[in-house]
Amino acid sequence: MTLLPKSRKARMRLLLLSIIAPVVTLAAGLALWGMRDSISFFYTPSQAAEAKPEPGQAIQLGGLVAMGSVVKHTDGHVEFTVQDKLAADRVVYQGDLPDLFREGQGIVAEGAYQSDGVFKATRVLAKHDEKYMPKEIAEALKEQGEWRGKGAPPPAYEATVNAPAKSTGGPT
């Protein structure tokens, strides 16, 4: 009793499959191994605090630029704070910021945490409209109550800072 098929055609197919399968598996494994440093996870500040990514590990940090946190230096060095409802992270960046970058604006910074806990960004992206936001980022913001989509109220911490002054009703 043999495990091989009786048909010559079936034996050839089995031989071909037994040669091709390991080659394809090896190629896929090598491709994934080669791309391991290209993978970049997205975190909000509170998710990053929970996940504790290794210093130097490439990630994307997204959230709102905290009001009053932007400090621009003459050498092009910029420092600002990215926050969500639960946490905030200090970000340093060297270079030109996008035109849409401003306090209270949603951004995504690509880079890595340094050993001192400061996030060093290599690229800063400012989002310009909710409909251009990736689905994963929108879901993360919705989970934390940060979503500012159609008809959504501003986050509670921003509403207190940017509350409009009450009018007395008299002439100005």
For residue 26, tell me if it sits in a domain. Answer: no
What's the total number of domains in the chain? 1
Phi, psi of 67 (to 5 degrees): -65, 135
Run of H or E including 131? none
List the structure tokens of 101. Answer: 């970058």
The structure's pTM equals 0.58
The answer to whether position 129 is within a domain reads: yes
Cβ contact 86:140 at 8 Å: no
Q: Average pLDDT for residues 138-156, to the nearest whole number?
A: 66
Residue position matching structure tokens 């060093």: 120
Comparison of pLDDT for 86 and 158, the residue scoring more: 86
Place of tokens 């050993």: 115
Question: SS3 for 45?
Answer: helix
Our measurement of the distance from residue 69's CA atom to the centroid of its chain's CA atoms, rounded to an integer in Å, reads: 20
Average pLDDT over residues 39-51: 85
> By residue range, what is the domain housing residue 79?
41-147
* pLDDT of 169 higher than 80: no
CATH number of residue 140's parent domain = 2.40.50.140
Per-residue pLDDT tens digits for 48-65: 888 888 888 888 999 999
pLDDT confidence of residue 154: 54
Are 130 and 138 within 8 A, CB to CB?
yes
What does the alpha-carbon distance between residue 90 and residue 120 come to, in Å, rounded to a whole number?
9
Question: Tokens for 35?
Answer: 């791309």
Asked if the structure places residue 84 within a domain, the reply is yes
Q: Note whether residue 88 is domain-resident.
A: yes
Asked whether residue 156 is domain-assigned, the answer is: no
DSSP type of residue 132: G
